[in-house]
């Protein structure tokens, strides 16, 4: 009998290459078991890219037209039918690929065995399969320590932070499948490439699946009741070893990663696995328990191993200071000229804020190796903490002169140059760092801040997205939301979940973009900080404000609030939204005086708070102005702080519950004077005259020159110069207040 497969390009079903593997199993069943001939149209773009007519030429007969006297193969439920047929009839119905060397046009492959890793960052459906970028980079980092040849399949290469792993940069599906077929080991998730690795008979497949790797909706609907949906690759057990791991909360346990390394080493016929290599894997993954237990056993039989003592110190880096110092001392005693041990010791002292000891250790390295660039880099870090700014710059320059290809060294010098006010040179240094490591996220982020400060919003906003990949900054990392990240798709019939990021002021400032998005979107849900919810909810009536992330799971996409300008391609500050609150008459307001609210300190956890905050002593001069009444809008102000400014100052926010209450208080004032903090954004959004006091290196949003800002019409900026004391800025404020003029 002749059978025909319905052509994908004439149905609403989008072809998926993984489904093609299951389909070919069904075709093999019809051909071998039922002795039917199967015709298939391979003329659509994906089939052509895959060269399906060639690689499956032993399975199907190619036909580009609908044939008479043929029955259609049922292509529904492929992933229920194919595993069932394979379990019943065995590997003889598993198709074999016909791959030809002369059709391969990709990168030259190594003579040695190699690994292929297939990522899955943005699945279009079944989001339990998705791999977080931090997990992928962590896995690659682990593999790089042990293997020479690693190829990575990804559609988002800029997110991969890698040193030796090779990104497969091709649009040819045939070339990707060919490369997979030549691998000794394939590592991948629930993707079509994993299934192709199976029918290519890759000798070893390591499958990584989400913890819910059956489709729950099928069971709910009853469509496939009692029949599990099998995502596992349909492997030929005679040719392929298949190992599977479950990805829990987008993490593999440290033991699982070590198991993957051990499996891979055995399959690649590597040298016998060294215990210290495994211990280093555990340390890399911060699994202190396993690394400590292994080291304890190792040191019993190898008490003179300097490396083992160094690893012991690294294991307890953050917990047992005395133990770590003794372990480092033992390691140095056994190997007194090991630069890496001294450098780790210097970093240990730096972590414990022992900056003088860290500095002395780095100087000891320079006694052994005078031109050690890493030592000068860490000396520069220490000088910042010791407030020796001239020495910091000189050490950074020396590190750069010794190694002009290290992105950390270049980036460090760029940040210092920027702090000295030379934004153009800093910009070039950040670009130079990126040239030597195209995935070094900190330099993209620092470049973005520099470009934005220079009013280059188009380039700056694009590079600002790299903030997500700075692993040391937890607040900038996206949570594992079940829906895909929004990338600019049409939202006319879709819903989107917007989540806050960074500080309260950022949320107030960037909520204006949600109103713009609303014009093209069917539905928006937004999660903001609880203390902002009432204020924003009453000012944005057409947006659903939610209390917890779980309430967003019915949305089609998610996006960070601070990513909206880039996503919407708005390269100038959008018009501000005027917030409104119900008026609340205050008994404390003094009639006949200029009522001025003041804020002198931002969040103490902010990286630049030591530069942007002002001592209360500097504000005391304002107390002598008889025509004004001062009100504290400083959250958690102490009695000492208030008395330092004025004994007559009135604390307005001591009992304020949230930003709505604070907004009501601000509405009753004539003027707000604030350092760069959330209250400044709040006052400006209310349209209240607001004077913002900026440090000599301001946040990018305020630019570098003007006394006004396109972000808020009611704001006046007072800019401090580098060596200028805050008292001089307060004198300017004093003179302006003395005339009782607000502009």
For residues 361-389, average pLDDT: 96
Written as six digits, the tokens of 119 are 């990522």
Instruction: Give the predicted TM-score (pTM) of the model.
Output: 0.69
pLDDT tens string 300-315 = 888 999 999 999 998 8
pLDDT at 7 over 90: no
The SS3 of residue 30 is: helix
Which residue, 552, 516, 508, 540, is CA-closest to 685? Answer: 508
DSSP character for 63? -
Main-chain phi, psi angles of 693, to 5 degrees: -95, 120
At 217 the pLDDT is 44
At 215 the pLDDT is 46
HSE-CB at 32 with a 13 A cutoff on CA atoms is: 17
DSSP character for 274? P
242: which strand partners? 205
Main-chain phi, psi angles of 709, to 5 degrees: -145, 140
527: which strand partners? 499
Q: What is the 3-state secondary structure (H, E, C) of 548-589?
A: CHHHHCCCCEEEEHHHHHHHCCCCCCCCCCCCCCCCCCCCCC
At 220 the pLDDT is 41
For residues 736-743, average pLDDT: 71
Instruction: Write down the mean pLDDT value for the chain.
Output: 86
Which residue, 63, 70, 65, 81, is CA-closest to 21? Answer: 81
Contact between 691 and 729 (Cβ < 8 Å) = no
What residue ranges in 336-436 does DSSP mark as E strands? Answer: none
Q: What is the largest CA-CA distance in the chain?
A: 102
- Cα separation of 327 and 308, whole Å? 9
Which residue, 592, 637, 606, 593, is CA-closest to 619? Answer: 637
- Cα separation of 715 and 734, whole Å? 17
The SS3 of residue 242 is: strand
For residues 39-58, average pLDDT: 87
pLDDT tens string 72-111 = 777 767 777 888 888 888 888 899 999 999 999 988 998 8
Give the containing element (helix H, strand E) for 328. helix 321-334
pLDDT at 634 over 90: yes
At 422 the pLDDT is 95
Contact between 707 and 716 (Cβ < 8 Å) = yes
Which residue, 605, 618, 581, 590, is CA-closest to 731? Answer: 618
Measure Cα distances from 285 to 94, 111, 135, 265, 273 in Å.
38, 31, 11, 18, 18
pLDDT tens string 479-521 = 567 787 888 899 999 999 999 988 999 999 999 999 899 888 9
pLDDT tens string 559-616 = 999 999 999 999 999 998 899 999 888 877 888 889 999 999 876 665 666 677 898 8
- Cα separation of 449 and 443, whole Å? 10
Number of H helices, E strands in the chain: 31, 20
At 190 the pLDDT is 86
CA dihedral 172, 173, 175, 179 (to 10 degrees): 140
Written as six digits, the tokens of 92 are 């003889």
- Between 40 and 345, the more confident residue is 345
- Cα separation of 550 and 552, whole Å? 5
Q: For the stretch 149-173, what's the b/e string if a residue is b when 16 or more beta carbons lie within 10 angstroms of its beta carbon?
A: bbbbbbeeeebbbbeebebbeeebb
- Cα separation of 481 and 470, whole Å? 18
- Cα separation of 299 and 479, whole Å? 40
For residues 671-675, average pLDDT: 96
Give the containing element (helix H, strand E) for 536. helix 530-537
- Cα separation of 461 and 466, whole Å? 10
For residues 552-563, average pLDDT: 91
At 475 the pLDDT is 42
At 406 the pLDDT is 94
Which residue, 440, 563, 456, is CA-closest to 513? Answer: 563
Contact between 133 and 159 (Cβ < 8 Å) = yes
- Cα separation of 283 and 204, whole Å? 27
At 92 the pLDDT is 84
Burial-class residue 335 by CB neighbours within 10 Å (0-12, 13-18, 19+): middle
- What residues have CB less than 8 Å from 73, skipping those under 6 apart? 3, 4, 5, 6, 26, 27, 30, 38
- Cα separation of 345 and 310, whole Å? 9
């Amino acid at each position: 009998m002749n059978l025909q497969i319905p052509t994908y390009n004439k149905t609403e079903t989008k072809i998926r290459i993984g489904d093609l593997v299951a389909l070919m199993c069904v075709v093999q069943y019809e051909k071998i078991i039922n002795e039917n001939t199967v015709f298939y149209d391979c003329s659509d773009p994906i089939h052509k890219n895959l060269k399906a007519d060639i690689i499956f030429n032993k399975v199907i007969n190619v036909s580009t037209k609908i044939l008479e006297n043929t029955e259609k193969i049922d292509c529904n439920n492929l992933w229920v039918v194919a595993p069932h047929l394979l379990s019943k009839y065995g590997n003889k119905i598993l198709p074999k690929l016909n791959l030809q060397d002369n059709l391969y046009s990709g990168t030259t492959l190594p003579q040695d065995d190699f690994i292929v890793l297939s990522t899955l960052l943005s699945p279009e459906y079944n989001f339990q399969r998705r791999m977080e970028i931090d997990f992928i980079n962590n896995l690659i980092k682990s593999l790089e320590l042990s293997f020479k040849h690693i190829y990575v399949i990804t559609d988002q290469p800029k997110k991969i932070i890698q040193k030796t792993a090779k990104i497969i940069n091709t649009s040819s599906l045939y070339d990707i499948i060919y490369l997979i077929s030549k691998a000794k080991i394939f590592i991948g998730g629930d993707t079509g490439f994993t299934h192709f690795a199976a029918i290519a008979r890759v000798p070893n497949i390591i499958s990584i699946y989400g913890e819910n790797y059956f489709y729950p909706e099928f069971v709910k609907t009853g469509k496939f009741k009692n029949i599990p949906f099998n995502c596992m690759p349909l492997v030929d057990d005679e040719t392929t070893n298949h190992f599977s791991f479950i990805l829990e909360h987008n993490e593999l346990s440290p033991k699982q990663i070590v198991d993957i390394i051990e499996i891979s080493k055995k399959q690649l016929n590597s040298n016998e696995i060294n215990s210290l290599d495994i211990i280093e894997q555990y340390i890399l993954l911060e699994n202190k328990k396993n690394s400590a237990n292994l080291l304890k056993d190792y040191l019993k039989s190898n008490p003179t191993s300097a490396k083992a003592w160094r690893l012991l110190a690294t294991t307890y880096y953050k917990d047992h200071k005395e133990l770590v110092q003794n372990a480092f001392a033992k390691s140095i005693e056994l190997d007194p000229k090991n630069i890496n041990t001294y450098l780790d010791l210097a970093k240990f002292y730096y972590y414990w804020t022992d900056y003088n000891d860290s500095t002395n250790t780095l100087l000891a390295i320079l006694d052994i190796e005078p031109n050690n660039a890493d030592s000068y880099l860490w000396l520069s870090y220490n000088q910042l903490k010791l407030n020796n700014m001239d020495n910091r710059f000189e050490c950074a320059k020396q590190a750069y002169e010794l190694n002009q290809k290290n992105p950390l060294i270049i980036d460090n010098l760029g940040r210092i140059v920027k702090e000295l006010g030379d934004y153009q040179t800093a910009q070039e240094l950040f670009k130079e760092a990126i040239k030597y490591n195209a995935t070094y996220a900190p330099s993209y982020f620092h470049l973005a801040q520099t470009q934005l400060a220079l009013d280059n919003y188009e380039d700056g906003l694009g590079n600002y997205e790299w903030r997500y990949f700075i692993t040391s900054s937890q607040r900038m990392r996206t949570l594992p939301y079940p829906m895909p990240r929004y990338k600019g798709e049409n939202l006319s019939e879709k819903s989107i979940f917007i989540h806050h990021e960074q500080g309260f002021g950022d949320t107030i400032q960037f909520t204006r973009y949600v109103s713009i998005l609303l014009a093209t979107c069917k539905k928006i849900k937004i999660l903001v900080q609880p203390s902002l919810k009432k204020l924003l909810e009453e000012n944005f009536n057409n947006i659903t404000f939610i209390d917890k992330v779980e309430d967003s799971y019915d949305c089609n996409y998610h996006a960070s609030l601070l990513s909206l300008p880039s996503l919407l391609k708005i390269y100038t500050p959008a018009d501000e939204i005027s917030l409104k609150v119900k008026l609340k008459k205050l008994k404390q307001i003094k009639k006949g005086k200029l009522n001025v609210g003041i804020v002198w300190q931002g969040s103490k956890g902010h990286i630049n708070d030591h530069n942007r905050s002002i001592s209360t002593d500097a504000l005391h001069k304002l107390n002598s102005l008889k025509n004004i009444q001062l009100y504290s809008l400083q959250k958690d102000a102490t009695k000492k702080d208030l008395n330092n400014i004025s004994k007559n100052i009135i604390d307005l926010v001591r009992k304020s519950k949230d930003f709505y209450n604070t907004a009501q208080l601000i509405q009753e004032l004539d003027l707000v004077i604030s350092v760069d903090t959330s209250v400044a954004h709040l006052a400006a959004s209310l349209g209240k005259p607001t004077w913002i006091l900026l440090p000599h290196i301001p946040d990018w949003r305020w630019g570098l020159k003007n006394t006004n800002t396109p972000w808020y019409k009611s704001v006046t900026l007072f800019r401090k110069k580098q060596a200028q004391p805050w008292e001089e800025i307060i004198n300017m404020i004093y003179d302006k207040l003395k005339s009782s003029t607000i502009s």
